[in-house]
Amino acid sequence: MSQQATIFVVDDDEAIRNALLSVGTLLGHPVRTFPSAEAFLEANQQDQPGCLVLDIKMPGMTGLELQRKLLDANCALPVIMISGHADVRIAVETMTLGAVTLLEKPFGLDELLSNVRKAIAKDQENRSQSEESNLAKIRVSALTSKEREVLTLISQGLTNREMADQLGLSIRAVEDRRSRLMKKVQARSINDLVRILLATENPQDS
C-alpha cells in the first residue's frame, strides 16, 4: 500500500505554518509543519511522498540552502518556495534548482492550492517513473550476454537480417534470442521494448 502524500511546511513564522494547515484539509492530505530547515532535516522526511512548502529566508539555514542540500542528497521532493521579499536573483536561483514555483507573500489561497496540487502530481509522476525505471533495469539485468547483444542491435534499429549478418547467425537464431529477451523484459511489442529501454535511462533515477 502506497503512502499518502504529505504537505510539508517549513517556515519560521508560526502564523504561516498554522494558516497552511488548512491547505491539507481542503486537499485531503496530511500536513506536517517545521519551524526551521534544521528541524525538517532532523525529522528525516526527505523520502516521503508529497511536496515541500518552503520559506526562503529563515534564521539559521535558509530555504535556498535547504533546497540545495536536498538536491545534493538526491531528494526529488517538489518544492514550492514562498517569500515576502524575494529579489530577481533569488527567484531565478530557486527556479533553476527546480522549484515548482515561487510565491510572494501575501499569496491567495487558490494560488497556493493550485501549486500544491501541481507539486503533488509532479511527485507522483516522478515516483512512478523511478519505479518503472527500477523494474526495467531488473528485467534487463536478467538477460544473458547474447540476449543483451541482440537488444543493443534492436535499439540501433537493425532488422533481423542485419543482426544475423552482423552476429554471424541464422535469422532463426536471432529470432529465438529476440523472442526470449522480449519475454524476459515483458515486452509485447517493439514499442514496449523501446519504452523499457528508455526507462533504464531515466534521468530521474540517476
Q: Is the pLDDT of residue 85 over 80?
A: no
Give the number of other CB atoms < 10 A from CB of residue 186: 12
Q: What is the pLDDT of residues 127-167, one digit of tens each?
A: 888 888 888 888 888 889 999 889 889 888 899 999 999 99
CATH of domain 134-205: 1.10.10.10
Q: What is the pLDDT of residues 45-61, one digit of tens each?
A: 878 999 999 999 899 99
The CATH superfamily holding the domain 6-127 is: Response regulator (3.40.50.2300)
Q: What is the pLDDT of residues 162-197, one digit of tens each?
A: 999 999 999 999 999 999 999 999 888 888 888 888
Where are the CATH 1.10.10.10 domain residues in the chain? 134-205
Torsion of CA 126, 129, 135, 137, to 10 degrees: -100
Contacts of 71 (CB under 8 A, 6+ apart): 97, 98
Contacts of 3 (CB under 8 A, 6+ apart): 48, 49
Who wins on pLDDT, 92 or 203? 92
Average pLDDT over all residues of the chain: 88
Residue 204: which pLDDT band, with cuts at 50, 70 and 90?
A: very low
Residues 114-129 have a mean pLDDT of 92
Where are the CATH 3.40.50.2300 domain residues in the chain? 6-127
pLDDT at 124 (0 to 100): 92
From the DSSP assignment, how many helices (H) and strands (E) are in the chain? 9, 5
